[in-house]
A = this chain, B = another copy of it.
Amino acid sequence: MPYKAISGIGEFGLIDKIAAIAEPTLHSVPKLMTGIGDDCAVYQLSEELLQVATTDMLVDQVHFDLLTTPLKLLGSKSISVNVSDICAMNALPRYALVSIAVPSSFSVKMIEELYEGMSYAAKEYGLAIAGGDTSSSRSGLVISISMIGEVSTDQITYRSGAKPGELICVSGTLGGSAAGLKLLMREKEIMLEHIENNEPYNKSVMADLKEYSDSIQHQLLPLARIDIVRLLHSKNIRPSSMIDVSDGLSPDLQHICRSSNTGALIHESRIPIHPATRRIADELQDDALTWALAGGEDYQLLFTIPKERYEAIADNKEISVIGETTEMEDGLLLSDIYGMTIDLSSIKGFDHFSS
């Protein structure tokens, strides 16, 4: 059999293959309602109550860089990215299992800092760190977290429920996390260059990061939008579809449209780009819109609701309407500020296995 590299089929191609192999196992567990393919698996606890379950693995040098990431913030972020998946189902988190593989060079204090960050975030979200596993690692740190949440059967929200003619909404701002990451990468390069050239290195060499602190915080300490889920519950609004923006607005909107069999038309002028992001993009000669569309890691909620339900949340400043769902054959379009339409399906997010 000829060698076929994973890069040839990409991350989503690989997930499709895995889902096909795992699919037959679903039949033996009737209470399991959704397997691979949404933000969470869904398991029926009772007629009224559903359990949602998600997992995320964070790998050193792939998802984070310890040169630019304090361990306490990394711990908090690793909890938040899982809570964000739970929120994407319109659910609330209950408990987490945390596994780590630790290089032998790590000190006890470093592990304590990592867990202090996790514990702090867990308390903020009201979830318990209930168990886990520890192992040594021959290379870098690996963090794997699984999280369990709950949602009533009349509030559960999938990616697949959008219909043409509904409003597309997004919480908060986009692009800030990508801007923060680019800044941290620049600072790291400066630092490494100084070390390489044996030049004296002190903090004043680096740019004063204070003015960028908000963007860097979006990257290092993102917060899951559990407040939006609580708002939706309190207003008795069930979105027709929802996802969290972890890959970027464009790929995540594509996930919703593909699952729901709709198209979408969004407007550049309505995309809530994070305030400092345009300035940072100018400084780094990059493009803020691209960061919002494909940068990822914003952990905002992207959802659709029927127009007649919008009034209930219209006064909330944290929710922006960025466009409307359309018929599937109309495709995924972005109308830019000059009135041109751009095909969004050409804008991909990060692929772990792209060549």
A148 part of interface (Cβ distance < 8 Å): yes
Chain B residues whose CB sits within 8 angstroms of the CB of A55 once the complex forms: 97-99, 131-133, 144, 146
Instruction: Flag A7-37 by CB within 8 Å of B: 1 or 0 each.
Output: 1110100110110011011101101101110
Chain B residues whose CB sits within 8 angstroms of the CB of A131 once the complex forms: 35-36, 40-41, 53-55
Residues B4 and A107 in contact, CB atoms below 8 Å apart: yes
A189 part of interface (Cβ distance < 8 Å): no
Nearest B residue to A18 via CB reads: B115
Contacts known (A14-B111, A95-B32); A59 close to B122, Cβ less than 8 A: no
Residues A140 and B142 in contact, CB atoms below 8 Å apart: no
What's the Cα separation between A26 and B20 when bound, in Å? 37
A201 part of interface (Cβ distance < 8 Å): no
Residues A94 and B29 in contact, CB atoms below 8 Å apart: yes
Chain B residues whose CB sits within 8 angstroms of the CB of A123 once the complex forms: 24-25, 28
Q: Which of A22, A61, A62, A138 is the most central at the interface, judged by chain B CB atoms within 10 Å of its CB? A: A22
Chain A at the B interface: SS class: mixed
Instruction: Flag A182-195 by CB within 8 Å of B: 1 or 0 each.
Output: 00000000000000
Chain B residues whose CB sits within 8 angstroms of the CB of A4 once the complex forms: 107-109
Q: Which residues from 81 to 131 on chain A have a C-beta closer than 8 Å to any C-beta of chain B?
A: 94-95, 97-102, 104, 106-109, 111-112, 115-116, 118-119, 122-123, 126-131
Nearest B residue to A351 via CB reads: B136
Residues B107 and A41 in contact, CB atoms below 8 Å apart: no
A285 part of interface (Cβ distance < 8 Å): no
Contacts known (A99-B55, A133-B55); A128 close to B63, Cβ less than 8 A: no
Residues A352 and B7 in contact, CB atoms below 8 Å apart: no
A134 part of interface (Cβ distance < 8 Å): yes
Residues B17 and A95 in contact, CB atoms below 8 Å apart: no
Residues B108 and A5 in contact, CB atoms below 8 Å apart: yes
A137 part of interface (Cβ distance < 8 Å): yes
Residues A127 and B352 in contact, CB atoms below 8 Å apart: no
Q: Which residues from 32 to 66 on chain A have a C-beta closer than 8 Å to any C-beta of chain B?
A: 32, 34-36, 40-41, 43, 45-46, 53-57, 59-63
Chain B residues whose CB sits within 8 angstroms of the CB of A7 once the complex forms: 104
**Which of these, B59, B99, B138, contacts A62 with CB under 8 Å?**
B138
Contacts known (A21-B112, A112-B21, A131-B55); A107 close to B3, Cβ less than 8 A: yes
Residues A134 and B29 in contact, CB atoms below 8 Å apart: no
Residues A14 and B138 in contact, CB atoms below 8 Å apart: no
A139 part of interface (Cβ distance < 8 Å): yes
Residues B352 and A17 in contact, CB atoms below 8 Å apart: no
A6 part of interface (Cβ distance < 8 Å): yes
Chain B residues whose CB sits within 8 angstroms of the CB of A144 once the complex forms: 55, 57, 99, 133, 142, 144
Kindly list the 7 A-B residue pairs having the minimum CB-CB distance in the complex, ordered from nearest: A139-B139, A41-B130, A144-B144, A146-B146, A22-B129, A41-B131, A29-B128
10 contacts between A and B (CB under 8 A): A17-B111, A25-B119, A28-B128, A29-B127, A41-B95, A45-B45, A53-B97, A54-B131, A62-B101, A146-B146
